[in-house]
Structure 1
Amino acid sequence: MESEILKAALSQGILAVLSIFLLFYILKAPEKRDMKQEERENNKQD
């Protein structure tokens, strides 16, 4: 799905590509942060 969105953005220009990239980055950043937080909590409990 992401590749299809990127292909569509490429046809629209560099600003569209950068906007889509930023959107994906913003959506994935909290997931990584949450995983690190869970890891810290588990280490603290042990």
Structure 2
Amino acid sequence: GIDTEKIEVLFLERSKALDFIMDFQYAKTTGLSLAILWHLKKFKNV
């Protein structure tokens, strides 16, 4: 699952979250970036 610390990331502004994802593509925590992408996709559907 996702740590409580990492969950805070999901509540960032979309623009900041996108920059965050770009940085994390090169990191080892791919699961976190996928969680953010899913969260952003959820926003688009609203």
Task: Return the TM-score normalized by structure 2.
Answer: 0.46
Question: Comparing both structures, which one devotes a greater share of its residues to helix?
Answer: 1
The TM-score with structure 1 as length reference comes to 0.46
